[in-house]
Structure 1
Amino acid sequence: MKRTRIALVSLFSAVALAFVAVPAAAQPSTTVELINELNGKLLYIGIPITLLVEVILIYTVIKFRNNDDPQPTKENRRLEITWTVATAIILLFVGVASYGVLANPDVTYAEQPGVETPGEGNSALVHAEAYQWGWEFTYPGENVTVDGSEASPVVVPMNQSVYFEVTSRDVIHAFHVPEMGLKMDAFPSQNQTIKTVPTEEGTYQGYCAEFCGVAHSQMYFQVEVVPQDEYEQWLQEQSSDGGSSGSGNESGNASNSSVVTAPAELTAVAN
């Protein structure tokens, strides 16, 4: 029994040290920061509950392993009231913490009076249109179009509000940039807006997260976060070059030509 106590104390100490020792990693955007913070809070609740249940389970198995005449559990109202109240408190905490994140505009954006309009001030607005099987990103009012490829990434400013207006040209797709915590379904003839504030320079991989046909796995794109002055310079350069850099029409034609060589059965399923 003494060894068991020492083992349990060591386990709890290791878990506590792990929580304290884990450094706070840099977050690429306010969106992923909010989501990771919520996940951390839920872990603080979930891990102690899991450990408590496992300890009780192990204790019960060891204590009653040689009991050949088990007896029914006696009613204990105090215990039942205790775990009912404890469960209610835990669920209330989870609900309040989750709502605080889900209601944040950087996670669930909705146009409201007094809220910044997409593209207003130094904020950036990018229209993301998905199609089988590629992307076309346009900057409204800037005469700039890119396809999100490595040679023509989606460039956005750091420490400024960035809005992605997501839609589809044909079937259901999904705009997803995991490292930035961004995900939004793309429906035909519908525009849905997602907002974030990038906080770290770098290039982040995005892709379509909704199966949409034979070339679904090829629907990658890149989002490049740069300082505000570099972003403005990039817009000027793209506009002076004619406003199109690797436009989606060329990619779309390439994708369509590849579909001709695909099996007829797969093409029929995709349509």
Structure 2
Amino acid sequence: IWRRRPVGELEIAPVNDRAAIRWIGIGVAISTVFLLGSAVWTLATVSSIGEPAQAKALSIDVIGQEWWWAVKYHSSDPAREFGTANQLVIPVGVPVQINLTSRDVIHSFWVPKLGGKMDMIPSRTNVTWLEADKVGDFRGQCSEFCGLQHANMAFTVRVLSQADFNAWWDRQLQPATGSADDPRLRTFMARCAACHTIRGTPAGGILGPDLSHFGDRETIASGLMSNTPQNLARWINNTQTIKPGVKMPELGMLASEIDGVTSYLEGLK
């Protein structure tokens, strides 16, 4: 009923090895050319984005830490360098190099209306650029979860005309006004100077924000509250209630001491 043909050796078509290798080589060569071209284009694009063609006019260090921002302005003249905190001031229309690092955990620098995010990593410096095309204030925020007060780690970028920016820089270089015998300064020295700096006074602490020209700032507690005498007094008296976990302790200062330090700091402009 069933018939099976005997199995013989199958005839195999001859293979032209040279032709196959030639076509494989052509395919590899074409792919290599496209990949190399794509790599060169990508590297050139990243380089042009990462560093504007215009020579930088301004370089600023920003150091993230739980939960505030230390800021240092560089100059070709070391005597014209200074520090501030929680606020960047830049001139309009000028590319600004921002050098980013962290003192404790990973943070991330982000000004949504001016640029993308960039991580701030301990013992490493990452570089980003800001360039604003109009005068105004822009909110920045830490965009990498960094602990209990991550959501309250904000800052402000204030964009000024070049003339106003130059005048602001000159003001920052001026020492604090007032007498060394001012009782308010003496209270500050006794209660606050271990952690904070005020240029032109013996206060030289580095654990907390630099408070030189504090009265010029728009916010306190790293963007948490508007800078008003009432808010500052509340902050000094209730740091752990307002922003739990911050390193600034509640010192149990007398109301008269708080009033004196508040009026002194608000007068630093």
Normalised TM-score (structure 2): 0.49
Instruction: Judging by fraction of residues, say which structure has more helix.
Output: 1
Q: Which structure has more RCO (C-alpha within 8 Å, separation ≥ 6)?
A: 1
Normalised TM-score (structure 1): 0.48
Compare CA radii of gyration and give the structure with the larger one.
2
